Structure 1
Amino acid sequence: MPIFDKPLPELYLYQGRNPRPDDFDLYWEQALDELAATAPDPVLEPARDSPSRHAECFDLWFTGVGGARVYAKYLRPKNLRAGVRLPAVLRFHGYAMNSGGWTDKLAWPLEGFCHASMDCRGQGGRSQDPGGVWGTTLRGHIIRGLDDPNPHKLAYRQIFLDTVQLARVVMGFPEVDAGRLGAYGGSQGGGLALACAALEPRIQRVAPVHPFLCDYRRVWEMDLAKDAYEELRYWFRMFDPRHERVEEVFAKLGYIDCQHLASRIRGEVLMQTGLMDTVCPPSTQFAAYNKITSPKRVVIYPDYTHEQMPGDLDLMLDFMHGL
């Protein structure tokens, strides 16, 4: 088969190119301290637009860092008996998208899970982004905050923390067994699932599909700063056309690089990746995978690109049944 990235044996050894800041651990400890001081104030409202007759569907709102009100869809099985506690899964969406409709989530409550799907702040859904404007933006989130002297202003720092706040809100619901929580998603959602499990180590199972937000410098050096990563190219063309700040830029991006968070994951990991993925190159995904020290496996689709892969959702459901 043709290859454009490293051969598979080399992928299993690859350790990434993007630098890890010296104060990386302190950065995230301070971020988690800020989150701990942020009261989530969750509100559940019965969803008026749900078509389901077999699941209870809710609009969930909670507060993230900076005062943002963050939205998620929350589903649970109907007619729960008092005192019953169920496993729960968190789902994160692709870049610039949103949590979608209700129907594609109904398998989870029918299989005995609670399910939450978050709208990333400032992207295509209902969550607020008080650092910018209300409403949606189309990408630009990797580089948002890059020119601020304070790396705590990076947009993905806040989004990563929102995933943790969602996890903690869901774990606090009376019908949820806080010791049986999973996270999954594809592309950006896969990266966020990794970040969530790294920053909330009580998450027991993680199922990323072709995760985004990993090893930015490798993407740049492969000349693949296009599609989902195109803003890296735009930033250099507009703000550093002579590449005088390359080291500084990739060092700062290291704070929000999921490969550097991966070693904090304590739950079991099931990753799925296509070897022909030119959007999130396989080597960038393996940069994160190879740093995971908890039980893990990766399912390989040799001929697949950055797309829906056959049976991926079935694998994830079966995996989450182990909670």
Structure 2
Amino acid sequence: MPSLDMTIEKLLAYEGRNPRPADFDDYWERALTEMRAVDPAVELVPSSFQTPYAECFDLHFTGVRGARIHAKYVRPKHVEGPHPAIVQFHGYYSNCGEWLDKLAYASLGFSVVSMDARGQGGSSEDTGGVKGTTFNGHIIRGLNDHEDNLLFRHIFLDTAQLAGIVMNLHEVDENRVGALGGSQGGALTIACAALEPRIKRLAPMYPFLCDYKRVWEMNQAANAYAELKTFFRFFDPQRKREDDIFTRLGYIDLQFLANRIRGEVLMGVGLMDAVCPPSTQFAAFNKMTAPKSYEIYPDFGHEGLPGFTEKTIEFMLGL
């Protein structure tokens, strides 16, 4: 079998390379305390786009550090009483996408909310000095500042805050909420379920933001991870701070949040993935203690995985 990384046997035993900060748990408890103190000031605005069987809204809320976060929210018309919901996350630099990719779940009786990650290609703000987009370099944002100012800390908190907002909607059954996404969306799916453990089922596809040191040692700091190489070249060209930098990145390394997940997990992996190497994904998967399974695509990389969308729908129908 062609291989970019490890064999399945080694992947299932792999425990990760990136260092875990000694105060990791305190860090995230402090972050969640900050999030819970925020008044989200939720606003639902009907969209100009509507369908016969689902209502479409722009949802806005205030996240940590005052950023106004945007999401698209779709609510089925044909379901009476509380029903399940899906929280959906997009890939790096992108946005929450078109209404169309939310309507399949709405037709099955789910509400769907899809978040614009702050400062990326959608409408959510990044308030770190300017309002509006900052688009790129979000992994390294805050590495030379206090660790509480890492940008992905705030983005991870946004996912949990949004899930809680959806669970509090009168039409949603708070015990039947799932999360899904691919690449950065897979990463945010894991973050969401770790920081909001009421997420019942999650389907991350080739999750990003796991085991940064492994990415570095594989010489795969390219594509979505290219900013790691950029950071060292400009700010630590002799790599004298390498241990400190990777330890700081450990605060936003999802392998260390994975054991907080309580919902059932279905992960999709392409073994030829050169963007998010399979070993980095399994560093997180292997630390999950909740019920879990994976779907392997031996000849596929960071691309569509045939049939995984349908497998995800079948999985979410179990909510």
1:85-113 CA distances to partner (integer Å, 9 max, x unpaired)? 00001000000000011011100110010
Amino acid at match of 1:185: G
Distance between the aligned counterparts of 2:308 and 2:79, measured in 1? 29
RMSD of the TM alignment (CA)?
Answer: 0.8
Listed one character per residue, the Cα deviations across residues 56-109 of structure 1 (whole Å, up to 9, x for unaligned) are 00000011001111000000111543xx00000100000000001101110011
Q: Corresponding residue for 2:161?
A: 165
Q: State the Cα deviation string for residues 111-147 of structure 1 (Å, max 9, x = none).
A: 0100000000000000111113233233200000000
1:91 to 88, 92, 116: 88
Matched-pair contact (CA < 8 Å) for 1:6–1:283: yes
**CA apart distance, 1:270:** 0.2
1:282 maps onto 2:268 in alignment: no
Equivalent in the alignment of 1:47: 47
Report if aligned partners of 1:44, 1:59 keep a CA contact under 8 Å in 2: yes
Q: Does residue 1:305 correspond to 2:265, yes or no? A: no
In structure 1, give the amino acid aligned to 2:20: R
Q: Which residue of 2 aligns with 1:66?
A: 65
Cα distance in 1 between the residues matched to 2:130 and 2:304: 32
Distance in 1 of aligned mates of 2:287 and 2:79: 40
1 CA distance for matches of 2:133 and 2:306? 31
Asked if 1 retains the 8 angstrom alpha-carbon contact of 2:39 and 2:62, the reply is yes
1:234 aligns with 2:233: no
Equivalent of residue 172 in structure 2, options 162, 172, 176: 176
TM-superposed CA distance for 1:6, in Å, is: 1.0
* TM-superposed deviation, 1:4: 1.9
* 8 Å CA contact 1:44, 1:60 repeated in 2: yes
Give yes or no for contact 1:96–1:137 (8 Å, CA) kept in 2.
Answer: no
Shifted more, 19-28 versus 124-133: the winner is 124-133
**How many equivalent residue pairs?**
319
Which residue number corresponds to residue 32 of structure 1? 32
1:51 and 1:102 in contact (8 A); partners too = no
- Name stretches of at least 5 consecutive residues in structure 1 with no aligned partner: none
**TM-score normalised by length of structure 2:** 0.99
Q: 1:257 aligns with which of 250, 253, 257?
A: 253
% identical equivalent positions: 59
Structure 1 segments (4+ residues) deviating >3 Å: none
Q: CA shift at 1:51, angstroms?
A: 4.8
Q: Distance in 1 between matches of 2:135 and 2:212?
A: 19
Tell me how far apart the structure 1 counterparts of residues 160 and 41 of structure 2 sit (CA, whole Å).
14
- Among residues 100, 105, 110, which one is paired with 1:108 in the alignment? 105
Q: Is the 8 A contact 2:44 2:58 kept in 1?
A: yes
Counterpart code for 1:175: E
Question: Are 2:150 and 1:147 aligned?
Answer: no
Contact 2:203 2:267 in 1 (8 A): yes
How far residue 166 of structure 1 moved from its aligned partner, in angstroms, is 0.3
Distance 1:322 1:41 in 2: 32
Distance 1:297 1:58 in 2: 34
Q: Residues of 1 paired with 2:206 and 2:100: CA distance? A: 23
| Gap runs ≥5 in structure 2 | none
| 1:215 paired to 2:211 | yes
Q: Aligned letter for 2:45?
A: E
Residue type of the alignment partner of 2:90: H
Q: Which amino acid in 1 is paired with 2:214?
A: R
CA contact (8 A) 2:3 2:272 kept: yes
TM-score between both structures, scaled by the size of structure 1: 0.97
